[in-house]
Amino acid sequence: MVVFRLAESIMSAPTPRFSPYPLYAVCLWTGNTLVTKLAAGAIHPAAIAFYRWLLAALVLTPFVARAVWRQRAVVKANWRKLAVLGGLGMGMYQGLAYHAAHTTSAVNMGVMVATMPLMAALLAAGFAGERPRRASLAGAGVSLLGVVLLATHGRPDALARGALHAGDALMFVAVASNALYGVLLKRWALPLSTWEQLYAQIGFGLLLLLPFWWWAPASPLTAANLPLVLYAGTAASIGAPYCWMQGIRRLGPARASLFMNLLPLLVALAAWGLLGERLQAYHARGGVLVLGGVVGAAGRA
């Protein structure tokens, strides 16, 4: 039912249009969720977080560095905002996700990421001083119940005993930080191009991640973890944002964000087929509640 509702929402626009770019982005982010889970046993979280954005910066430097240098006065005037954005999007979000992967499943991570558009909508309403719509509040409540089912493995009563998995809590905070990142990015509207902002934010994010990488246990690049870093630093850090920006340009942010609801399904299928994760009944119940809340709120917004 949720999948049919999602497809109907995507295709029912005044001027029917379709772009594959948001789907490409979601597929790349699906791969990144699997990479994040695989990294849990192959490289220290602080190391892959740092190496990932260092690689992305190196790849972008020949194409963006000169433009950012020309805009250095703008960067200097807005460095605090860029530092906050870099800390939220490059530091906290993915850094916490790498830590979360040690104690939660890829399926749980994928479902929690699907709550990001709804979190962003609620945060945006709070920043604008507006009362959120009833549909948004109802959707948030339904989605939160789904997250609780996932985090407690289908036994919400476990919360009373304090049996909350640390990885699920970390992933929830990570998703909230990225939702706040999106809200601030739109609210501040810095006078830089998208790629210039991304490059500057990566720089500040690296400064934040540097001490964690420096003080973390040694975790050198190996034949086992190098492909994970390469994927995270290129496909997930550059390819996915590019596809997402192209999708928003063609479809608008509201319709493009609906594609994010496909992420839990794709992650669950990939985790089952490639990682051997077993799908349980609480995954289905929690996933349906999360997606139902998100899609229901979006459909009545």
Question: What pLDDT is stored for residue 298 in this prediction?
Answer: 53
Q: Tell the residue number behind the tokens 């999708």, with chain if given.
A: 247
Question: What pLDDT is stored for residue 267 in this prediction?
Answer: 80
Domain boundaries along the sequence of the chain? 2-299
CA separation (Å) from 137 to 122, 134, 141, 146, 293?
A: 8, 5, 6, 14, 9
For 245, what's the count of Cα atoms within 13 Å in the CB-facing half-sphere? 10
pLDDT digits (tens, 9 = 90+) for 197-218: 999 999 999 999 999 999 999 8
What DSSP designation does 259 have?
G
Q: Which two tokens stand for residue 62?
A: 């020949």
> 265-282 burial string, b = 16+ CB within 10 Å, else e?
bbbbebbeeeeebeeeeb
How far, in Å, CA of 230 to CA of 53, rounded? Answer: 10
For residue 81, give the amino acid letter: K
How far, in Å, CA of 146 to CA of 290, rounded? Answer: 5
- Within the chain, which residues score under 70 in pLDDT? 1-18, 128-165, 252-255, 257-258, 261, 279-301
pTM value is: 0.78
Q: Which two tokens stand for residue 19?
A: 């772009």
